[in-house]
Amino acid sequence: MRGALLLLMTALATTATGAHAQFEVNPSAPGQRGMPRRLEVSGFVGGMTVDQSLGTATNLYQSVTGAATDVTFGKLYGFRASWGFTPNLAAEFNVSSSSNAYTFDIDDLEVGNVALGEQFRSDRLYFGGNVVYQFPKGNVAPYVTGGVGLARETPVEAIAGIDRVSALAFNVGGGVKYWFSSPQWLGLRADVRYHTANDGVTFPAGTSSPKGWEFSGGASFRWF
Amino acid sequence: MKLRRLALTALGLLVFVPGSGAYHLLEQTTPNGDIVRLSWSSAAFPVGYYVNDRQPLDFPLQEAVEAVNQSFQTWEDVETAAITFELAGLTDAEPFVFFDDKSTLGFTSDPDLAQPGVLAATLQVIDIFTGEIVEADIFFSNLFVWSVDPNGESNTFDFVSVAVHEIGHFLGQDHSDIGFMESVGFERELVSGAAVMFPFSFGPGSVEGRTLTVDDETGVSLLYATGGFLQLTGSLAGRVTKGGQGVAFAHVVAFNPFTGETIAAFADDNGDYEIEGLSAGPHTVRVNPISDPASPPDFGFPELGTDLDYSDTIFQTGIAEVTPSAVTRGIDVEVER
């Protein structure tokens, strides 16, 4: 893991500080398999399944459990930038935003069980780095990936004592990119990634380990 | 202050029922028809209090004084309320002699006051035009055996717990209905976590009544707010109805699962309610009638005009989201028999 992180940091530093200077133009075979060192930038939209427990809070009359278990299609959007070291290996920087909707369920001493439906929303901002291993073949490049980052969850409306929760987050996944023959700098991509984090919004006695599947599609642009 | 403006009001009883937080503030309708909350003027602080110099039956006088000081300190420690007290001294004045400008605490065997089932009571003298409390006396009944043991003592009532409750009245709080009795074997006991201002005690041997709940603290903070309390908190408001008609004096409880705070209030005679002093965030809201062993008069409501004939109900038609310094309206609950 430490080796992967070092590799990611090196790649990101390179992308950030010298991207323009290091574009390597190879006009003899643009877009062909085996083309080394290329910068890719992608925008994407999609949806995310959420599986996050708030825990249980209890008073004299009832126990309240809270969870986000919805699918927020249409609420996910983001940006990826990657630098290919070899035809197969690349480092990727990700920023994405999604939204969680939390519901409450009550177990009341007198009333019984009551599902309250959505009670509040939070915004989730993720940024981090991934290692991408690609299998380019013609215009298509399937890939697998894994990475680490920071997930920040912020309630949309104020909640006493909770301004923002930041957590270490991990993801693994894969996808496929399709590069057009003309123009060669344009492509489409579809991605599936599984996310986890070590903390999130919870009730005081709750522990949180949010997880969920990210499904996204987008457009990609590349420079040789 | 002219004597004719003053009136004796607000008998706050702490009752012990063998085998048996919503804040609620004392109010007064002025001769002008305005409804005002009863409270001490900010100029009255530190409020001085006297302790009757008669030797208590169950512990030394000095321990009684220390216990009274401790009880006042419990309220003074509420960070969101600007209240201070000071012991003015011992007095031979009885704790039920009014208009003597002495707020006095003491024990009594007077048969008109020390009645079966009544542990203690607070009586206040107020300015009927402003609701300002100008004197408040607290008596403790010699019909019961008392203790000041910090850990409680079996078969005795904790003097500090009862004093803390009565000082809540002293400050202008009425009874809270956050609490209920639960069966323990063949006995009924007040459930743990009940508000200190619940009208029934925790029973012999318990010292739980020494610790204020959030509901108790909210009540006193609304009367004497400080530290940005009113800016940091908000309100939920709505109407409790049954068959479309307002439910008089329904008990409405708000629970913030993020803070664990349970705070409640009563609807008025039209079923309209507002729970103030709530922390920001989503709340659950439940409605219940006043239930056994409490009764409407325990909270200052008319026995006949208070609707008790409906089931506990939970608000589930939307989000009860509290925003600081704002009132979230429309938290309406329809109850059924």
Count CB-CB contacts under 10 A for residue A33: 12
Q: How many domains does chain A have?
A: 1
What confidence tens digit (pLDDT) does each residue in B62-119 have?
Answer: 999 999 999 999 999 999 999 999 999 999 998 888 788 899 999 988 888 878 788 9
- The domain limits of chain B are 3-221, 233-335
How many residue pairs bridge chain A and chain B with CB atoms within 8 Å of each other?
93
Q: Which residues pair with A95 in a beta bridge?
A: A79, A127
Contact A66 B262 (CB under 8 A): no
Contact B260 A204 (CB under 8 A): yes
Contact B178 A64 (CB under 8 A): no
What fold is seen in the domain B233-335? Immunoglobulin-like (2.60.40)
Q: How far away is chain B from the Cα of A104, in angstroms, using its nearest Cα?
A: 9
Is A33 inside any structural domain?
A: yes
Residue B185 and residue B234 in contact, taking contact as beta carbons nearer than 8 Å: no
What confidence tens digit (pLDDT) does each residue in A1-41 have?
Answer: 444 433 333 333 333 333 333 333 333 444 444 454 589 99
Residues of A in contact with B314 (CB under 8 A): 62, 106, 108, 111, 114, 116
Is A25 inside any structural domain?
A: yes
How far apart are the C-alpha atoms of B204 and B195, rounded to whole Å? 17
The predicted pLDDT at position B24 comes to: 62
Low-confidence ranges of chain B (pLDDT < 50): 1-4, 6, 8-22
What confidence tens digit (pLDDT) does each residue in B237-257 have?
Answer: 999 999 999 999 999 999 999
Q: Could you tell me if B312 lies within 8 Å of chain A, comparing CB atoms?
A: yes
Is A211 inside any structural domain?
A: yes
Contact B257 A54 (CB under 8 A): yes
Is A55 inside any structural domain?
A: no
Is A162 inside any structural domain?
A: yes
Is A93 inside any structural domain?
A: yes
Q: Could you tell me if B258 lies within 8 Å of chain A, comparing CB atoms?
A: yes
For residue A213, what is the domain's CATH number? 2.40.160.20
The predicted pLDDT at position B35 comes to: 82
Contact B179 A60 (CB under 8 A): yes
Q: How far away is chain A from the Cα of B129, in angstroms, using its nearest Cα?
A: 38
Low-confidence ranges of chain A (pLDDT < 50): 1-34, 36
Q: How far away is chain B from the Cα of A166, in angstroms, using its nearest Cα?
A: 17
Residue A133: domain span: 2-44+78-100+120-223
Does the interface ipTM go beyond 0.90?
Answer: no
The CATH number of B3-221 is which of 3.90.230.10, 2.60.40.1730, 3.40.390.10, 1.10.10.60?
Answer: 3.40.390.10
